[in-house]
Amino acid sequence: MAEETLKSGILTNLFFEIIQSPVNIALVLLIVFLVYKIIKSRQNDFAVPPPAPQLPKLKKRDFTVEELKQYDGTQEDGRVLVAVNGKVYDVTKGKRFYGPGGPYAAFGGKDASRGLATFNVSASGEKYDDLSDLSTVEMDSVREWESQFQEKYDFIGRLLKPGEQPTNYSDEEDEPSSSTAEKPKDE
Ligand X SMILES: *[C@@H]1O[C@H](CO)[C@@H](O)[C@H](O)[C@H]1NC(C)=O
Q: How far is CA 151 from CA 27, 36, 46, 146, 177, in A?
A: 49, 37, 24, 9, 24
Footprint of ligand HEM on residues 22-81 (CB under 6 A)? none
Nearest-CA neighbor of 98 among 124, 60, 136? 124
Report the C-alpha gap between 62 and 77 in whole angstroms. 19
Three-state DSSP state, 40: helix
Question: From the list 151, 171, 174, 182, which residue makes contact with ligand X (rule: CB under 6 A)?
Answer: 171
Nearer to ligand X, 3 or 126 (CB): 126
Nearer to ligand X, 123 or 134 (CB): 123
Within 8 A by CB and 6+ apart from 63, the residues are: 81, 83, 88, 156, 157, 158, 159, 160
Question: From the list 63, 71, 89, 104, which residue makes contact with ligand HEM (rule: CB under 6 A)?
Answer: 104
Number of residues lying near ligand HEM (CB under 6 A): 9
Nearer to ligand X, 151 or 175 (CB): 175
CB 81 to ligand X: min, Å: 21
CB 131 to ligand X: min, Å: 13
Q: What is the 3-state secondary structure (H, E, C) of 46-84?
A: HHCCCCCCCCCCCCCCCECHHHHHCCECCCCCCCEEEEE
Q: Does 132 bind ligand X (CB under 6 A)?
A: no
Residue 104's binding partner among ligand HEM, ligand X, none (Cβ under 5 to 8 angstroms by kind) is: ligand HEM
Candidate ranges 11-19, 24-32, 88-96, 115-123; the one touching ligand X (CB under 6 A): 115-123
CB 90 to ligand X: min, Å: 22
Enumerate helices (H) and strands (E) in the chain, giving the number of each. Answer: 6, 3
Q: Are 140 and 85 in contact (CB under 8 A)?
A: no
Nearest-CA neighbor of 110 among 63, 164, 40? 63
Question: From the list 58, 106, 123, 139, which residue makes contact with ligand X (rule: CB under 6 A)?
Answer: 123
Nearer to ligand HEM, 131 or 169 (CB): 131
Which residues contact ligand HEM (rule: CB under 6 A)?
A: 94, 97, 104, 115-116, 119-121, 152
